[in-house]
Structure formats: C-alpha cells, structure tokens
C-alpha cells in the first residue's frame, strides 16, 4: 500500500500534467484533483491553487467521513458549508481551504476502485456542454477506442450550483448510472461546467481525460458536417467485452 508521500507525489504529477497549458484542459485556478490516502482520508486540491504549478502545498488532507456526512446534512447555509470544509481538514492550523468541489470528490472516492479523480474544463468538452443540445450530443459512443478507454457509457449531470448542491446532484446521477450499468462511470459530464475522469491510478485519469477530449473534438467536427452516427448498443457491448479489447484496457490502465 503506497504511503502518503507516494500518493501525494503521484497526485502532484497528475495535476501538473492535466494543468499543462498546451493541453487546453484548464487555465488559472480552474479544475481540481484528488487522491484517496486510506479508507478515512484523501488529498484534495486547495481552493485557488493552479494545477499547472501543483506542489505539496497545493493539497490538503481531509476526512472522508466528515465530508460524506456533510453531503447528507440538511439546510446548510454557505457559512455552515464552510464550517464543514474547515472541520474536515486533518491539519486545521493551515489557513488554506479545500476546493468547494471537495464534496463530489469525497463521494467519488468512496466508490470501489476509484482512487484518483481529475476534474477539468477542456475547451472542446465545454464547447459541447454549453450547447442546448449537449445531452443528445453525448448520448452515444462514436468509435472503439472511446469505449475501451472511457467505458460503454458516460454519466450526464445537469447544471447545478457548484459545491454542496453539485455534490448531491452528482451523487444522485452516479447512483442511477451504477444501477443501470452495474459499474461506476469513468467519465462524468457536468452541464455548462466540465468533465470528471475517475480511475484507480493517475494513468487511468489521464487516459480517460485525453480520449474523451479527442471524442469531443471529433463530435464538434461531426456537427460541422451533419449529425453523429453513434455505434449501436450491440457494437458497444461487443467492443467492451471482447477479450482482445479487455487486454488493451489492462495495458492502457483503464481496466476496472
């Protein structure tokens, strides 16, 4: 089992990669990342920190149970939400605050086989998510490698006020997804907001993010000339369950 320093090092490297300006995934203080430390704690980006310059001071270790309890609390004002985030810090001597999206990270990291989470705002993806036809546009799979890396389907979350409200709404949609697909989503798309990639390793998160951004760019090109020709459900199932594609999933680091 990796120790805290090893996990934090992996998280820093993943964050810097996702924050590389050349990749056009985030700018300035956009996006946030997290990594599970153990069954009761995880690391999450501090509010206002940039992914591209991430270091040990960019992350806070927080309590998973406290944040999950916050998700279930009723009638929390903005001040009470801040109090929950403050009390969730393992080291309360620091003035830094966890990202407002820490609640959704807590929920996702509580799911089986999810140990790293990367939330970004790719221009290509948001070009679709800010459209009034975004749900329809992302409703199918376009090509085999998208299925191999990003799974047979994605989880779509309607626009919700960032923070606690988004964490709660995302939890509902992910639970519905799990009930329908019998697996946790690898890709979560948040309307007018951005995407989330979930995986066991930093490589999972990077692979999923890169492939879905490619899918978004292809989709934008498709709409310039027509409408998407999605693969059939039979096509998707066949690709996702083929032994050779399972082998590729393992090699690419996306096997759950």
Residue 255 has pLDDT above 60, yes or no: no
What's the CA gap between 54 and 52, in Å, rounded? Answer: 6
Per-residue pLDDT of 192-249, as tens digits, reads 999 999 999 999 999 999 999 999 999 999 999 999 999 999 999 999 887 765 555 6
Instruction: Report the range of poorest mean pLDDT among 76-85, 100-109, 166-175.
Output: 76-85
| pLDDT at site 246 | 58
For the chain, the first-to-last Cα distance in angstroms comes to 18
Looking up tokens 């086989």, which residue turns up? 113
What's the CA gap between 254 and 114, in Å, rounded? Answer: 11
Per-residue pLDDT band at 68 (split at 50, 70, 90): very high
| pLDDT at site 2 | 86
Choose between 245 and 23: higher pLDDT.
23
Structural domain spans, the chain: 4-252
Which whole number is the average pLDDT over 81-101?
A: 93
The dihedral sign for the CA sequence 175, 176, 181, 182:
positive
Which whole number is the average pLDDT over 21-42?
A: 96
| pLDDT at site 249 | 62
Average confidence score pLDDT of the chain: 94
Is this prediction's pTM over 0.85?
yes
Fold adopted by 4-252 = L-fuculose-1-phosphate Aldolase (3.40.225)
| pLDDT at site 124 | 97
Per-residue pLDDT band at 112 (split at 50, 70, 90): very high
Which whole number is the average pLDDT over 43-59?
A: 96
């Amino acid at each position: 089992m990796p120790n805290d320093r090893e996990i934090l090092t992996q998280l820093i490297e993943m964050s810097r990669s996702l924050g590389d300006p050349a990749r056009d995934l985030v700018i300035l203080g956009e996006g946030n990342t997290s990594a599970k430390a153990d069954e009761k704690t995880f690391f999450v980006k501090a509010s206002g920190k940039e992914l591209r310059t991430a270091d040990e001071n960019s992350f806070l270790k927080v309590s998973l149970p406290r944040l999950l309890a916050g998700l279930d609390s009723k009638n929390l004002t903005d001040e009470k939400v801040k109090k929950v985030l403050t009390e969730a810090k393992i080291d309360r001597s620091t003035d830094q605050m966890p990202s407002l999206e820490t609640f959704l990270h807590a929920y996702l990291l509580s799911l089986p086989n999810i140990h790293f989470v990367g939330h970004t705002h790719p221009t290509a993806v948001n070009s679709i998510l800010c459209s009034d036809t975004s749900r329809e546009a992302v409703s199918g799979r376009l090509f085999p490698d998208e299925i191999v890396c990003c799974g047979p389907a994605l989880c779509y979350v309607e626009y919700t006020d960032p923070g606690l409200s988004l964490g709660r709404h995302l939890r509902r949609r992910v639970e519905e997804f799990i009930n329908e697909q019998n697996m946790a989503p690898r890709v979560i798309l948040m309307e007018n907001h951005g995407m989330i990639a979930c995986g066991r390793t930093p490589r999972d998160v990077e692979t999923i993010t890169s492939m879905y951004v490619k899918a978004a760019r292809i989709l934008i090109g498709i709409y310039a000339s027509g409408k998407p020709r999605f693969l059939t459900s039979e096509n998707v199932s066949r690709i996702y369950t083929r032994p050779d594609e399972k082998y590729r999933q393992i090699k690419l680091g996306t096997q759950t």
